[in-house]
Structure 1
């Protein structure tokens, strides 16, 4: 398995994996991913099995301490030297789940954020995933203000 950051050439594959992993109300569009790749492709961690994208983690960097819904839509808010690495999506195609793919990418994102001198990482997740992210050191801060996809999200933070 190859792990690398993204370029615009990965747009079709990233959009296809997102559509396979999230319901339409929660999935980012191809257009949104084009903006994300333009502004922070180096904050996409991709896992390929041969030439097939099987998993990815993405999110931008900001000085804001909390993840807001506006961040999903406005890639231009990315600040390369910001304090916090946000995680907007953790995606693994269904046929590759339960193999540790996403976990490897989360570990890489954590290691890169630490090496880059960030304060830590922030993500939001549904209740059922709180124990999963806690395994990596994320602490649940409670229900976030996010209404993304008309779902209830918990904010979790890993502070270095």
Structure 2
């Protein structure tokens, strides 16, 4: 498996994975994903096996302590002098889940976070994923204020080192 940066040519497959993994096109619409690829490709990592894209993680550097709604808008851009890398999306094609791909993408994002000078990587997840992230040494920081999909989202974070 190889980890690479996303390009605009990958967007159809990225959208396909997001739709399958999240079972929704509402929050992971192609225009938003395209914006993330175009404006911060360094923070959009793909797991590949040959030419096949297996999954992705996307994030941006910010000075916030938790993920905010503006980070999912078309106008979202990384902030200067970020303190936290915000992991906005982590999606693995369902046929490749359970093979350590998500873990490897997270580890690469943690490394990127430190490279950017951030001291934390923060993400949000649904309650059934909390034990998985805790197993990977993430800390449960509380309930996030976002209300996408009428779901409760939880803040999880990990310290990253330079």
Superposed pair shares fold, TM > 0.5: yes
Structure 2 equivalent of residue 134 of structure 1:
134
The DSSP-based 3-state class of the residue aligned with 2:76 is: helix
Partner of 1:124: 124
Which shifted more, 22-31 or 95-104?
A: 22-31
Structure 1: give runs of 5+ residues left out of the alignment: none
Hey, what does 1:59 align to over in structure 2? 59
Match of 1:59, SS state, is strand
Name which of structure 1's ranges 7-16 and 94-103 shifts more when overlaid on structure 2.
7-16
Q: How far apart are residue 58 of structure 1 and its match? A: 0.7
Runs of 4+ in 1 over 6 A off after TM superposition: none
Alignment partners' CA distance in 1, 2:54 and 2:27: 16
What is the aligned partner in structure 1 of residue 92 from structure 2?
Answer: 92
How far apart, CA to CA, are the structure 2 residues paired with 1:43 and 1:71?
Answer: 13
Q: What is the TM-score with the length of structure 2 in the denominator? A: 0.91
> CA-to-partner distance for each residue in 1:70-104, whole Å, 9 max, x for gaps?
21124533225411100111111111111101101
> Size of the alignment, in residue pairs?
160
Structure 2: gaps spanning 5 or more residues: none
User: Structure 1-normalised TM-score?
Assistant: 0.92
Once the 2 structures are TM-superposed, how far is the Cα of residue 23 of structure 1 from its aligned partner? 2.4
Question: Cα RMSD over matched residues?
Answer: 1.6
Secondary structure of 1:155 counterpart: strand
Distance 1:38 1:25, change over 3 A: closer
